[in-house]
Amino acid sequence: MPEKKSDMNLSAREKAIIVASWLADKKAKEIVALDVAPFSPICETMVVASAANVRQAKALADHVLACSGEEGFSYLGMEGYSNGQWVLLDLNDVLVHIFQEDLRSFYNIEGLWSEGKVIPLPAPQAVKSDA
């Protein structure tokens, strides 16, 4: 019987980097990962991303949930999916915020958690063309 996948062997930092890559796969904009462990009693890291519209916000949330299931990541809940303006995914030690572009600056999550350290994310892979 194959071993069940789990996120238990990953640090919250590693998990946040993986989640950020899933968001990048679906063309999320302005992806930022923050280490907030010293300041937050509810999570260790946050990933914040922008979506161009409601449809993309929902698609990003769906993609993160699907990938989380495939990888055995913990999932505790989701808020805001029905209106798609600000979707919050609780992956236990990682909170994922998906904002519409105009609401992201209004709520300023990065400013609220400015004491958190930015987690460096790998640069998105360039798309190769056959030309």
HSE of 93, CA atoms in CB hemisphere, 13 A: 16
Displacement of CA 114 from its chain's centroid (Å): 17
pLDDT of residue 6: 66
How confident is the model over 37-86, as pLDDT tens digits? 998 888 999 999 999 999 999 999 999 999 999 999 999 999 999 999 99
pLDDT of residue 102: 86
How confident is the model over 16-31, as pLDDT tens digits? 999 999 999 999 999 9
**What is the Cα–Cα distance from 117 to 131, expressed in whole angstroms?**
41
What amino acid occupies position 78? M
Q: Rounded to the nearest 5°, which phi and psi values hold at 31?
A: -80, 130
Strand partners, 47: 33, 96
pLDDT of residue 83: 92
- Per CATH, the architecture of 12-119 is what? 2-Layer Sandwich (3.30)
pLDDT of residue 114: 87
Judged against a pLDDT cut of 70, whether residue 92 lies above it is answered with yes
Domain ranges of the chain: 12-119
DSSP state of 129: -
